[in-house]
Amino acid sequence: MAKTSSRDRMNNEINAGSMADIAFLLLIFFLVTTTIVEDKGILVKLPIWSEEEPDITKLKERNVFAVLVNAQNQLLVRGEPMRVEELKDFAKEFIANPTNRPDLSEKPTKAIISLKNDRGTEYGTYLSVYNELKAAYNELWNELAQKKYGRDYSEDMPYAYRKAIREEIPMVLSEAEPTAFGEE
């Protein structure tokens, strides 16, 4: 029988010294190459924070387009029940007031849309109401852009044109604090 030396025996260890380096490099690679998806929501311009008491001025009722959504997802516009599908056209007529009716806004720069929800309002209903109100402004802006500049109102329109249109028809959407569940 031949004698075996320690040198002839198989070594059961694996050299793992470079494994940590490889794992670290892979981690850095994936961190650098991965893009983080941003959640998109409703873009709302908030007022500047102030410690002073707000100036409470009495608005003319004719210039306020009050929209209430209750806990049963029913819509009340200026005291009258309305379907969400009718909201956009009624809001457009209120803002523009093409026939100078005394019960609609004096002019687009004075029109204020007041949106108030109940805490029990479903999020989908809130979004559909908000989208209809925003769509009313988008259509008015588009109509004015066609009339003044002969083109659609869009992001590729020059900034000066968009600014001029928004000065003529500013989007004033006031959202009140939601009421407690089932109050309205």
Q: Which residue range(s) make up the domain with 106? A: 61-175
Residue 44 lies in a domain: no
Residue 8 lies in a domain: no
Residue 23 lies in a domain: no
Among residues 46, 142, 58, 129, the alpha carbon closest in space to that of 91 is found at 129
Residue 72 lies in a domain: yes
Residue 34: half-sphere exposure toward Cβ, Cα within 13 Å? 9
Distance CA(128)–CA(131), nearest Å, equals 5
152-167 confidence digits (pLDDT tens) = 998 888 999 999 999 9
Contact 137, 93 (CB under 8 A): no
Q: What total of structural domains would you count in the chain?
A: 1
Residue 166 lies in a domain: yes
Distance CA(119)–CA(114), nearest Å, equals 16
The predicted model scores a pTM of 0.70
Residue 3 lies in a domain: no
Confidence of residue 134 (pLDDT cuts 50, 70, 90): very high
